Structure 1
Amino acid sequence: MGNLKTKDLSKIGYHNDQLRSLVISIAAKNFKHHSKEQLLDLLVQIKDNPEAFLDNELTAKIAEKVIGKMEVPAFSAYELRDEPVYCKTYGGKGIESSAKQQMELANLLPVSVQGALMPDAHMGFGLPIGGVLATHHAVIPYAVGMDIGCRMALTIIDESDGFLNRHEYQIKQALKNHTHFGMEGGLEVRQEHEVLDSPVFNQIPFLKPLRGKAARQLGTSGNGNHFVEFGEIELLPDNTLGLPAKKYTALLTHSGSRGLGSAIAKHYTQIAMNTCQSTTTYPPNYRCRRL
């Protein structure tokens, strides 16, 4: 089967996002040996006469969805505010201008209630990384972000600074064997985690084929600003961790949600773009236009 895409389905009249996700999922599972042309021809027949395909278990779900969702969702349009909502900026002198511009545009959205910009803010997709935006009855996928599982973790090891020198080789081997840096790839040992058993993977059609990617990339560090670093940390008396005041060896890691988070963000951003369009003309190549 050829690589069936949403734009292929749009061309033959499949405009509903849920319907397109369902079609792509069913096609990948049950029509692997069909060419793209054969599959598109079949889908046109289902769209034109869905009742004729209700008795076939391979096409019934698509036909049922077509019967209930033939209406193309109406686009809603919006205009930006004349004045931005209130936005609190922390450490503004150290924040790049492109991030400030993205935040300023987000604060003009009609659904925006209040914003905030953190000291580490930098340019992102739609909303700056380190930007916070409260909205009224609206979800902006790119404001939620691609790194939906992004996290940092600090592990404190009760060892002196000599620990790193004594075990330098073992530490390098541990990093090599138990994580992975880069866009693709994963770990050789399959990871186990309750997140992989989540029923959501079966409840949302477009997520089902992504479960394998999630399993492969679980425990990996990804690309960009993700890192694993060893260092030294000094805890002062009465620290919030309740540990004795002294110097410790520390392991600091930063990783994201990898390909799974990116796919989810892009999927729902496309839905948002299809259903809510701005009447405002944005500057060329300005990423925030995708909100």
Structure 2
Amino acid sequence: MKKKKTKEAIKKLTAKDLHSIGFPTGKPTGTALNIVHTYFTELGKNHQLELVQDVLTAPDQYKLHATLGPLAHAILNHQQTAPIDLKPDKQPYTIYGAEGIEEGALKQMEIAMRLPVTRGGALMPDAHQGYGLPIGGVLAVENAVIPYGVGVDIGCRMSMSMSMSIYNIPTSYLDSNRVTLKQMLLDNTRFGYASFKKPMDHPIMERPEFHEIPIVHELKDRAYSQLGTSGGGNHFVEFGIVEIQDEQNDFNLPLGSYLAVLSHSGSRGLGANIAGYYTKVAMDSCRLPQEAKHLAWLDLNTEAGQEYWLAMNLAGDYASACHHQIHGRLAAALGENPIATIENHHNFAWKEKDYSGKEFIVHRKGATPAGKGVLGIIPGSMATPGFIVRGKGEAASINSASHGAGRVMSRTQAKKTLHKPQVQQFIQQAGIEVIGSDLDEAPMVYKDIHQVMAAQQDLVDVVGTFHPRIVRMNGDEKYMEVD
């Protein structure tokens, strides 16, 4: 018992500890840590937390306290900060495929278009309701970044590698070697909480941000353990067939069909924790009305704004590193190198200029960059095609397109209304084998990808079509598997 108290006493109170009890970020957190580490080092961490919690609960009672007075004033000043008003009218924005977009997503976008920092926006045809900015929302703002405008899964991306038959992998190989390919997915991919016993090294782990930004430093070990893995939810790795349809394709490939690997995943726990931490920082420093609170922003002229920008870019590069390892492992298992690769990401913010040369921060939460000539991948569901696209650079869409088909059914609704035999029959008729997944990712929870693509013909040209054949997702490996 005595040993446990000694260990508790030497543990240092951190900002993360304070935020876990709902302590406001910014100056109150810095003041609390300075006071505790100067005057109350003899107390155990739990007692230190109780002390600052008491001040937070009743700051007026501590205003004249010799040591805790500065903390009380920091809390009171924070509480008295005037809320920021939204503009009375929303700015105009373009909606693509409006007939298929739910009311909740439209309301969220309208609120986003009333932010004082907003300068433009667009809603993609796969849009549906999320937190803050709707999924499928594109928002251009001036000199600010909105953590929930980026999203939790920072830098979530699509990545594709294609191998031609000249490498002795004709497309017929897929049907005649399904058992082998399924085993390759099982051996070389990990999902959800699973990870590799010995993660592969990658230069991303040597980035200075892991040492210079406290919250990122705390996440380094977890990030290393999850290298080369995929998340849960709608993340996947799959074998399929790509049909190249455009003679002017950017890969210099003849028209025809090729074996392909397609993956979808993001920045794992690293991105999620960065998003959570800086969202709290933003909400503390940028007080908005209740209906807009998840759209709180960080000014890029502030230390917090610059920190988030560096952390967000690190998370995006980390997500890319994970995809490269996924594809590298599968290329080694196939015994071939890909002849072409495509990669694009969403849930990110970019510095871009408009026609006049003025710079804006463009948030694409569940939206694909589609500048003129920019390649991207827009997947359907596990049982419907995806598309390799080339952007047209449409200004009204802020150079964007959809990032997928988009949901028509929530995860909860899917689990309540769908049944395994019904889903299994649908998948079997589509000629797909699925390892893992659950009812909340069944094909019927998504919009018709063909209707989504039809709604954005002004935004992208189709270069090729991807047909999934063997899909691995998070979950029970036996579920939805078809003989």
Correspondence list, 1:214-229, <5 A: 214-229=223-238
Residue 23 of structure 2 aligns to a residue whose secondary structure is helix
Change (3 A) 1:17 1:160: farther
Aligned residue among 183, 187, 198 for 2:196: 187
Partner of 1:267: 277
Counterpart of 2:118 in structure 1 is 112
Distance in 1, matches of 2:244 and 2:153, equals: 30
Show the counterpart of 2:109: 103
In structure 1, the partner of 2:410 is: none
Query: CA offset at residue 42 of structure 1?
Result: 9.2
Q: Which residue of 1 aligns with 2:210?
A: 201
Alignment partner of 1:166 out of 170, 173, 176: 176
Deviation at 1:254, TM superposition (A): 0.4
Q: Could you tell me which amino acid in structure 1 is paired with residue 224 of structure 2?
A: A
1:1-150 to 2 correspondence within 5 Å?
A: 1=8, 4-6=17-19, 8=21, 10=23, 16=27, 19=30, 35-40=44-49, 71=74, 74=78, 75-150=81-156
CA distance in 2, matches of 1:18, 1:43: 10
* Cα gap change, 1:219 to 1:235, in 2 (>3 Å): same
1:276 aligns with 2:289: no
Change (3 A) 1:22 1:214: farther
Alpha-carbon contact 2:26-2:284 (below 8 Å) kept: no
Residue of structure 2 in register with 1:62 after alignment: none
SS of 1:273's partner is: helix
Shift of 1:269: 0.7
SS in 2 for 1:101: helix
Structure 1 counterpart of 2:266: 256
Residue 37 (structure 1) shift: 2.8
In structure 2, what is the Cα distance between the partners aligned to 1:274 and 1:249?
Answer: 50
SS at match of 1:187: coil
Name the residue aligned to 2:342. Answer: none
Cα contact 1:231–1:251 (8 A) shared by 2: yes
Q: CA deviation at 1:156?
A: 1.0
State the alpha-carbon separation in 2 of the partners of residues 195 and 204 from structure 1: 15
Unaligned runs of 5+ in 2: 1-7, 54-64, 296-483
Between the aligned partners of 2:162 and 2:66, the Cα distance in structure 1 is 63
- The residue aligned with 1:233 is 242
Unpaired runs of at least 5, structure 1: 51-66, 283-287
Kindly tell me: are residues 97 and 191 of structure 1, through their superposed partners in 2, closer, same or farther at Cα, counting changes over 3 Å?
farther
Residue 130 of structure 1 aligns to a residue in which SS?
Answer: strand
Whole-angstrom distance in 1 between the partners of 2:122 and 2:88: 19
TM-score with structure 1 setting the length = 0.76
Following TM superposition, by how much is the alpha carbon of 1:179 offset from its aligned partner in structure 2, in angstroms? 1.8
Task: Check 1:95–1:166 CA distance in 2 against 1; reply closer, same or farther (3 A cut).
Answer: same
The 8 Å contact of residues 122 and 128 in structure 1, kept in 2 or not, is answered as yes
- The AA in structure 2 aligned to 1:129 is I
Q: Is the 8 A contact 1:6 1:20 kept in 2?
A: no
* Aligned Cα root-mean-square deviation (Å): 3.3
Residues 239 and 120 of structure 1: is their aligned pair in 2 closer, same or farther, counting only changes over 3 Å? Answer: same
Q: Secondary structure at the match of 1:277?
A: coil
Q: What SS does the corresponding residue of 1:78 show, helix, strand or coil?
A: coil
Q: Is the 8 A contact 2:156 2:265 kept in 1?
A: yes
| Contact preservation (8 Å) 1:81, 1:110 | yes
Matched residues in 2 for 1:168 and 1:21: separation?
Answer: 59
Separation in 1, partners of 2:222, 2:28 = 22
AA in 2 matched with 1:108: R
Deviations 1:182-241 (A, max 9, x none): 2x2322221222211111111111211201111111211101111112211111333222
Structure 1 residue 174: Cα displacement: 2.1
Percent of aligned positions with the same letter in both sequences? 39
Query: Following the alignment from structure 1 to structure 2, what is the Cα–Cα distance between the partners of residues 194 and 93?
Result: 46
Task: State the partner residue of 1:285.
Answer: none
Shift in Å, 1:153: 0.7
Matched-pair contact (CA < 8 Å) for 1:107–1:115: yes
Report the secondary structure of 2:191's partner residue: coil
TM-score (norm 2): 0.47
Report the more deviating stretch, 35-44 or 125-134.
35-44
**Is the partner of 2:120 in helix, strand or coil?**
strand
Question: Does structure 2 retain, via aligned residues, the 8 Å contact 1:94–1:119?
Answer: yes
- Single out whichever of 94-103 and 207-216 deviates more from structure 2: 94-103
